[in-house]
Amino acid sequence: MKTPKIPENTPYSCTQRTWLGRFFASMRSHILQNTPTDSSADCRVIHILYGTQTGNSESVANDTAAVAKTQGLNPVVKSMDAVEINQLAVMEYLLIITSTYGEGEMPDNAQLLWDQVAADTAPTMQNMQFSILALGDTSHDNYCKAGIDWDNRLAKLGAQRIYDRIDCDADFEGASKNWINSVIPIIADRANDTNSATDSVETNNTDNKAKFSRKKPYLSKLLLNRLLTGKNSSKETRHYEFSLGDSGLSYEAGDVLNIIPQNCPELVADIIKAIHCAGDENELVNGELMPLTESLLNHYEIKLPSKKLIQEIANRSGDQQLNNILESKDKTKLADYLWGRDTLDLLHQIPAIAFSAAEFLALLKPLQHRAYSISSSGNTHPDSVHLTVACVRYKSHGREHKGVCSTYIADLVDDNSQVKIFFSPNKSFSVPEDDSLPIIMVGPGTGIAPFRAFLQERAFRKASGKNWLLFGDRNESTDYIYREEIETMQASGILTRLDLAFSRDQQEKIYVQDRMRENAAEMYIWLEQGGYFYVCGDASYMAKDVDKALHKLIETEGNKSAEQAIDYINHLKKEKRYVRDVY
C-alpha cells in the first residue's frame, strides 16, 4: 500500500500523533470542507448529531452545544440527514442524540445515515470517540432502541465510548442534563490536552428554545370546541381553537402543539377507593407536599398502567394468567392482555388489597403531555392555534374508558379553564420554501390536521404550486370533516386535486393508498416535477401501507426495479421531499 502523502501544515489528529493520525486529520479537512462551521483540524470541534421526529432531540442537541461552548469547545450541531457516511467516519468527537420511533425504529431523519452505518460496507470508525443519548419512553417496547443500535454499531466499527450511553424516559430533561454535564467536561479535558485554543465557531443551529416549555407551559384559553363528525358517526372528532393571547408565541404550519392534561376527577376518585385510601393523604411530589387527590389529578399517569404497577399487581394478586404472561416475557401476549385494560381494571383484580398513598405513587409514571399536529397556519391565525382531535372513548371490561387528554379537552375544559400548552417546532414538516413546487398530502382521519394548515399557508403565500390532498375516513356522510372548507378551497383553486377514500361506505375497504394506485401516473408526474410527498396520521398501519404503495408507484410509473425505487425514495427523503408526521 502506498503511504499517503501528508500535505504540509496538516494539523495533527487529536487522538493520534502518528502519520496515520495526520492522514486522518487531512482526510477530515478534505471531507468536511463543505461544512462552513467546522474547522476539523481543531480538536475543540465536537459534532453533535440529532435524530428526531418531534424536536426533543434537536432541543437537547442545542443545549449540549451551549454547554460545550462554555467549556471552550466548538460544537457543530447537525440533523442526521445533513451528514454523509464519509463525513461521519472522520468525525473525531461525536455526540449522538436520538429518539426512537414506530416500533423501535429510527426517527425519519436518521434512517438514511443509519442504513449506511448498519451496512456491511460501512467504514471503520477507529479514530472516533463518541457518546450516545437515547430518548425514548418506557411505555413502548424496544425502549430507546435507536440509541442502543447506534451505540452498539459505532463500538463495533471501532469507535471508542467517551461516556456510557444514557437512556432517557419521557421525562428526559434530568437525565439529559446529567449526560451533558458528564460528557462535555471529559471532551473538554481531552481537547485541552491536545490542542491550542482557537476562536470559537458558531453552531449551525438556530436556538429554537421556546419561550414556553413543558416545565413552563403557556396557560391558554379555549376559544372554540366544535364537533366535526356527524351526530351518528362512530367517531367523535373535534375542532379546537386555543388563544395565544399576549403570549408573543408564534408557530408555523406543520408544528406540533403539546397539551398537558388533567386526569378525569371520577377516575381519580375510583382509583383512590380501589386502593383503600381517603385522598387527603399528603405526599411529596416534585418537592411539594400535596394531597393524594391533587397528585393523581395533575401529576401522574393513572390510565395506562406502568410496568412496575403491572408487576406489583401480579405479585399481590397472584393472578396466574398475568404471572404466566410476565414470566414468559412475551411482549405480544402482554400487549394483548393489557389491550382495553387500564390501571383501574388491574386494581379491580385485587379488591381486598390496600396500598398506602406513598406506595401507590411510587408505582406510577409522571403524567405526560400529548402532542397534536396543528391544523392552522400561524400566518392566517396569528392569535390562535387550531387542533383536530379524535376523542378516545371505548367500552371495555364493563366500564367506559376515556383517553386522558382527548377527553380532558372535550369534557373538562370550559371558558374559565387555563390549558397548559407549549409548542414543538417541526422544521422538516413544512410547506416547501419554493412556492411553485407541487405538494401531495396524504392525511386520513386526524391526519388531515397539518394539511388544513398547509393549505391555509399556501393560500396566504399565494403559492403558485399545485396542491393535492388525499383524505379518507370511515363514512362520507358523518366523517367527511372540514367538508365545507375543503370544497371552498377546491372552488377557489388552491386545492388543485382532491381524492377521497371512505373506508366503510361499501363492502370492501377503500383506503387512501387505493387512490394513490388509481392515480399513480399523475402522482409520479407531480413527483418528477419536484413535488413533495407528505403523510400524516396513523403510524402503525396507514403510514406503512402508504409507504409500500409509494414504492410500488415509483416502480411501475418510473419503470424502475425495487432497488431503484428505494434509491428514488431515499433521494426524496434526503431532499426532505418525503416527510411524515405519524403517530
Residues of this chain that bind ligand NAP (CB under 6 A): 235, 237, 390, 392, 406, 444-447, 472-474, 503-504, 509, 511-513, 537-542, 545, 583
**Residue 100 interacts with, from ligand FMN, ligand FAD, ligand NAP, none (CB under 5-8 Å by kind):** ligand FMN
**Residue 137 interacts with, from ligand NAP, ligand FAD, ligand FMN, none (CB under 5-8 Å by kind):** ligand FMN
Indicate whether 482 belongs to the interface with ligand FAD (CB under 6 A): no
Strand ranges of the sheet holding 419-424, from the earlier edge strand across to the other edge:
218-220, 419-424, 256-260, 370-373
Whichever of 21 and 107 has its CB closer to ligand NAP, that residue is 107
Least distance to ligand FMN, CB of residue 217, Å? 17
**Residue 504 interacts with, from ligand FMN, ligand NAP, ligand FAD, none (CB under 5-8 Å by kind):** ligand NAP
224, 201 in Cβ contact below 8 A? no
276: left (phi over 0), alpha (psi -120 to 50) or beta: left
Task: Check residue 374 and report its DSSP letter.
Answer: B
Indicate whether 228 belongs to the interface with ligand FAD (CB under 6 A): no
Indicate whether 340 belongs to the interface with ligand FAD (CB under 6 A): yes
Q: What are phi and psi of 87, to 5 degrees?
A: -75, -40
61, 46 in Cβ contact below 8 A? no
C-beta neighbour count of 538 within 10 angstroms: 17
Indicate whether 180 belongs to the interface with ligand FMN (CB under 6 A): no
Indicate whether 389 belongs to the interface with ligand FAD (CB under 6 A): yes
Q: What is the per-residue binding string for ligand FAD in 519-538, x denoting contact by CB under 6 A?
A: --------------------
**Residue 503 interacts with, from ligand FMN, ligand NAP, ligand FAD, none (CB under 5-8 Å by kind):** ligand NAP
Q: Which one of 62, 131, 446, 503 is in contact with ligand FAD (CB under 6 A)?
A: 446
Indicate whether 296 belongs to the interface with ligand FAD (CB under 6 A): no
Residue whose C-alpha cell reads 425514495 in the numeric block = 569
CA of residue 222 relative to chain centroid, distance: 25
176, 59 in Cβ contact below 8 A? no
Contacts of 206 (CB under 8 A, 6+ apart): none
Of 55, 347, 367, 335, give the one whose Cα is nearest residue 210: 55
Whose CB is nearest to ligand FAD? 403
Q: Which one of 99, 388, 407, 430 is in contact with ligand FMN (CB under 6 A)?
A: 99
Least distance to ligand NAP, CB of residue 445, Å? 3
**Residue 474 interacts with, from ligand FAD, ligand FMN, ligand NAP, none (CB under 5-8 Å by kind):** ligand NAP
Q: Which one of 53, 64, 229, 430 is in contact with ligand FMN (CB under 6 A)?
A: 53
Least distance to ligand NAP, CB of residue 535, Å? 10
For residue 323, the SS3 value is: helix
Whichever of 112 and 201 has its CB closer to ligand FMN, that residue is 112
Whichever of 24 and 101 has its CB closer to ligand FMN, that residue is 101
Distances from the Cα of 576 to the Cα of 108, 533, 580, angstroms: 10, 9, 10
Indicate whether 453 belongs to the interface with ligand FAD (CB under 6 A): no
203, 76 in Cβ contact below 8 A? yes
Residue whose C-alpha cell reads 462535555 in the numeric block = 184
CA distance 447 to 582: 8
C-alpha cell at 346: 388491574
Strands 288-291 and 282-285: antiparallel
Q: Which one of 140, 393, 504, 560 is in contact with ligand FMN (CB under 6 A)?
A: 140
Beta strands (DSSP E) in 507-570 are 532-537
CA of residue 27 relative to chain centroid, distance: 35
Whose CB is nearest to ligand FMN? 136
**What residues between 55 and 74 interact with ligand FMN by CB under 6 A?**
55-57
Of 489, 493, 490, 543, give the one whose Cα is nearest residue 516: 543
**Residue 111 interacts with, from ligand FMN, ligand NAP, ligand FAD, none (CB under 5-8 Å by kind):** none
Least distance to ligand FMN, CB of residue 297, Å? 23
Indicate whether 240 belongs to the interface with ligand FAD (CB under 6 A): no
Total residues at the site for ligand FMN (CB under 6 A)? 25
Counted residue by residue, the chain has a size of 583
**Residue 538 interacts with, from ligand FAD, ligand FMN, ligand NAP, none (CB under 5-8 Å by kind):** ligand NAP
**Residue 99 interacts with, from ligand FAD, ligand FMN, ligand NAP, none (CB under 5-8 Å by kind):** ligand FMN
For residue 465, the SS3 value is: coil
Write the DSSP string, 143-195. Answer: TTHHHHHHHHHHHHTTPEESS--EEE-SS-HHHHHHHHHHHHHHHHHHHHHH-
Of 331, 299, 328, give the one whose Cα is nearest residue 145: 331
C-alpha cell at 444: 386520513
CA distance 445 to 91: 43
**Residue 509 interacts with, from ligand FMN, ligand NAP, ligand FAD, none (CB under 5-8 Å by kind):** ligand NAP
For binding to ligand FMN (CB under 6 A), which residues are involved?
Answer: 52-57, 99-104, 107, 135-137, 140, 142-145, 170, 172, 539, 583
For binding to ligand FAD (CB under 6 A), which residues are involved?
Answer: 54, 256, 303, 339-340, 370-373, 388-390, 392, 394, 396, 403-406, 446, 449, 581, 583
